[in-house]
Amino acid sequence: MKNAYDVIVVGLGGMGSAAARHLARRGRRVLGLERFGAAHAHGSSHGGSRIYRQAYAEDPAYVPLLLRARELWDEAAADSGQELFTRTGGLMIGRPDAEPVAGTLRSAREWGLQHEVLDAAEIRRRFPTFTPSEAEVAVHEDAAGVVRPELTVRAHLDLAAAGGADLRFHEPVLTWEALPAGGVAVTTAQGRYHADRLVLAPGAWAPGLLPDLVPLRVERRVMYWFAPRSGVQDFTPDRHPIYVWAGETEGDEMYGFPALDGPEGGVKVAFHSRGEPAVPESLDRTVHASEIDVMRRHLSTRLPALAGEFVTGAACMYVNTADEHFVVSRHPAHEDVVVACGFSGHGFKFVPVIGEILADLAVDGTTRHPIALFDPARLRRGPAGGPRRT
């Protein structure tokens, strides 16, 4: 049959690029379709950096996936010759009962992960860029660090192409269907393609391609880069770790990074829980002066040395489920279709292992990895759990 493939992957961002890489290395005939270019800045997998951590406040069930993701990142780095991960250590900061602190401790203890609990004085002594209140503590995790979204996506795409994948960019998918006799068909403006299996990893475009699967909320988020008042020397990766800092009030939880790209790059920081509903095709990509002022005021009490000149900013999108756990499974109505969506602003650290899981589900129909938490049926039963973070 013309245009026949083993697997079609729709969406070649973080998850889709990793799925294409894993499928190609297993010798499958892969077609990858992406509405934009390679490693683009129109979705959720951009901005130069993402947090990687292992002691996971969201749920201890994520930890085995994070450990495997780290192995796969090392493997992709070796295979591609790209530096994809920088180990910086990490701080989860807040009052002792705040979720980033209490949840991280719960996860670290359950899995026996290396960690330390620091009081406010010890935080300030060891990491003087931070100015916590006396009531705040931090869990320090040495294994945490930074992963590079654009470099990771490009590495996975290059490895997929080297393995024989047919990757097509600027070709948005119009429709897909599961065929009565088995297999799938995908239609774009350029043609109609057939395959035995379909992997849908469409990011913020999931509500359009998967309208009846689960409710999804697309939200705009802003990333900011500031120039430290006295230069970046105190914000280098060996001195300033990644962090998640619980808010005193709703909307104030923030996260940030060390200076990764020299003086010109500034230091990145963002709010995790401050966003607004968005439509991907009309996303407001302007970072407004009022938004910059809010972040600068927030920094002035927590990282005052960072509250200097604004360097640049960028908008991205979260695609949230009701409980902010992922959706990764075979489609409940179509056994030849595998879905990955709703990563709720904390998914990129899982990219390599989600790619492996999607390849497992497409090839074998099952996976050895623990993914019961990601079953879309839970969302038809009603939401559970609390807020998640980056």
Structure tokens at 384: 């559970």
CA 41 to mean position of chain CA atoms: 14
What separation, in Å, do the N-terminal and C-terminal C-alpha atoms of the chain show? 44
Predicted confidence at residue 3, as pLDDT, reads: 62
Predicted confidence at residue 387, as pLDDT, reads: 42
Cα distances from 358 to residues 122, 126, 148, in angstroms, run 43, 41, 21
Query: Residue 8 corresponds to which amino acid?
Result: I
Predicted confidence at residue 209, as pLDDT, reads: 97
| DSSP state letter for 60 | G
Question: What phi-psi label fits residue 365: left (phi over 0), alpha (psi between -120 and 50 degrees) or beta?
Answer: left
Q: Which residues contact 309 (CB under 8 A, 6 or more apart)?
A: 226, 227
Regions of the chain short of the pLDDT cut 70: 1-3, 381-390
Predicted confidence at residue 390, as pLDDT, reads: 56
Structure tokens at 192: 């109609």
Nearest to 199 by CA among 324, 20, 349, 4: 20
Predicted confidence at residue 274, as pLDDT, reads: 87
Predicted confidence at residue 381, as pLDDT, reads: 57
Predicted confidence at residue 388, as pLDDT, reads: 47
Q: Quick one: three-class SS letters along 104-159?
A: HHHHHHHHCCCCEEEEHHHHHHHCCCCCCCCCCEEEEECCCEEECHHHHHHHHHHH
Predicted confidence at residue 386, as pLDDT, reads: 42
3-class DSSP state of 183: coil
Nearest to 91 by CA among 68, 46, 122: 122
Residue 197, φ and ψ in degrees, nearest 5: -135, 155
pTM of the model: 0.96
Model confidence pLDDT, tens digit, residues 28-77: 999 999 999 999 999 999 999 999 999 999 999 999 999 999 999 999 99
In sign, the C-alpha dihedral spanning 122, 49, 153, 216 is positive
Predicted confidence at residue 265, as pLDDT, reads: 87
